[in-house]
Amino acid sequence: MSYPEIRPRRLRRTPAIRRLVSETRVDPAELVVPMFVKEGLTEPRAIASLPGVLQHSRDSLRKAAVEAVQAGVGGIMLFGVPEHRDPTGSGGIDPNGILNVAIRDVVAEVGDATVVMSDLCLDEFTSHGHCGLLTPGGEVDNDATLEAYAEMAVAQAAAGVHMVGPSGMMDGQVGVVRRALDAAGHQDVTVLAYAVKYASAFYGPFREAVESTLEGDRRTYQQDPANLRESLREVALDVAEGADLVMVKPALPYLDVVSAVRAAVDVPVAAYQVSGEYAMVEAAAANGWIDRERVMLETLTSIKRAGAQIILTYWAVEAAGLLRERY
């Protein structure tokens, strides 16, 4: 009987050997945790479709920010949930609006110990739930929306944010935001461009988290899930307009896109493991169908392996602890 001369299994024999030869590692510093803060809350509130994720009060947000820093995560992405909304989303620009107040709270609490990021979009603040201002006919007005984004960016920068994340998929949004920041003296504020954001069915739990009032859908500005070349065009435009980092959203259904973007640009690439991705795993684990912690880390590793240097995930704080134990 002949035996194999080459035995790849030797490199899998023990946990120590597997750690030694591991090709892809996720570091806690590469994880960003999204956090929601709701105006008027005195206690944090659970989100039914996102088990373990909360709508925070201002006080609980500050505590959660400290816990994230202690866990070693690389950043916190803030989303505001206002008590009142209007057609123009004025609460996103108001210095005393919940998101800008939350930015000040978190920066005052953690300083530069982690990267404080903010979602730069109107959808949480508009009564119609769209990411921009509407024409009299009900269509999203790209250029009028850009003016609002510019004001919103300056308001967030004035509140002390380190990085803004324009996410509305308006044409020209990165360039307008960059110019507005620079003109207001905020040249050091970084722009994380949601360069590739698909009109995905995976956003459902997020819409509960922000109490979305969306009427209709966002297919006229978010991308068609069938398209890859279009994504690369969007990325190239955002980099040319001054994006410091670019992001793909969602992550797992679009790993081929993450890989293609990584190959196309020389700026850092992020991916957002969105609410539906998280909720599916949590639901399957709750039914005993999968090993929750192993699947959690496997999904994060797959996103990193595809080319994302930074991963936004609702598991960021928990995963950071598991990764420290693993490595």
pLDDT at 30: 98
Q: Which residues contact 65 (CB under 8 A, 6 or more apart)?
A: 35, 76, 106, 109, 110, 114
pLDDT above 90 coverage of the chain, percent: 96
Is the distance from CB of 223 to CB of 230 less than 8 angstroms? yes
Mean pLDDT calculated for residue range 173-196: 98
Threshold 0.75, pTM exceeds: yes
Kindly state the DSSP code that residue 86 receives in the 8-state scheme: B
78: its two tokens: 């803030």
pLDDT, one tens digit per residue, over 251-309 is 999 999 999 999 999 999 999 999 999 999 999 999 999 999 999 999 999 999 999 99
Which pLDDT score, from 0 to 100, does residue 281 have?
98
Quick check: is 249 catalytic? yes
Q: At what angle do helices 98-110 and 142-159 cross, to 10 degrees?
A: 30
Q: From CA 196, how far away is CA 114, in angstroms rounded?
A: 25
Q: Per the structure block, which two tokens stand in for 317?
A: 């704080």
Give the pLDDT mean for 145-149.
Answer: 98
| Residue 22 labeled ligand binder | no
pLDDT category at 216 given cuts 50, 70, 90 is confident
Q: Which of 38, 63, 249, 304 is catalytic?
A: 249
pLDDT in tens, 233-263: 999 999 999 999 999 999 999 999 999 999 9
Q: What is the pLDDT of residue 264?
A: 98
Residue 218 annotated as binding?
A: yes
Total structural domains within the chain: 1
Span 74-98, average pLDDT: 97
Structural domain contains residue 14: no
In a domain? residue 296: yes
- Taking residues 133-157, what's their average pLDDT? 97
Tell me 127's DSSP state.
Answer: T
Which CATH number is 276's domain given? 3.20.20.70
pLDDT bucket at 2, cuts 50 / 70 / 90: confident
Provide the 8-state DSSP code for 91.
Answer: G
The model's confidence at residue 1, banded by pLDDT at 50, 70 and 90, is confident
Give Cα 23 to chain centroid, integer Å.
25
> Cα–Cα distances in Å, from 321 out to 203, 253, 256, 293?
26, 26, 28, 11
199 domain residue, yes or no: yes
Is 62 annotated as contributing to ligand binding?
Answer: no
Q: Is the pLDDT of residue 327 over 80?
A: no
Determine whether 63 is an active site residue: no
CA dihedral 79, 80, 81, 84 (to 10 degrees): -150
- Which pLDDT value is given to residue 187? 98
pLDDT confidence of residue 207: 92
Domain that residue 56 falls in: 24-326
- Domain membership of residue 249 (yes or no) is yes
Is residue 7 one of the residues assigned to a domain? no
In a domain, 10, yes or no: no
Average pLDDT value over all residues in the chain: 97
Is residue 215 predicted with pLDDT exceeding 90? no
Express each pLDDT in 14-26 by its tens digit: 999 999 999 999 9
Interval 72-96 mean pLDDT: 97
The answer to whether residue 182 is domain-embedded is yes
User: Does residue 4 lie in a domain region?
Assistant: no
Q: How far apart are CA 220 and CA 168, in angstroms?
A: 11
- Would the CA dihedral through 28, 30, 36, 42 be positive or negative? positive
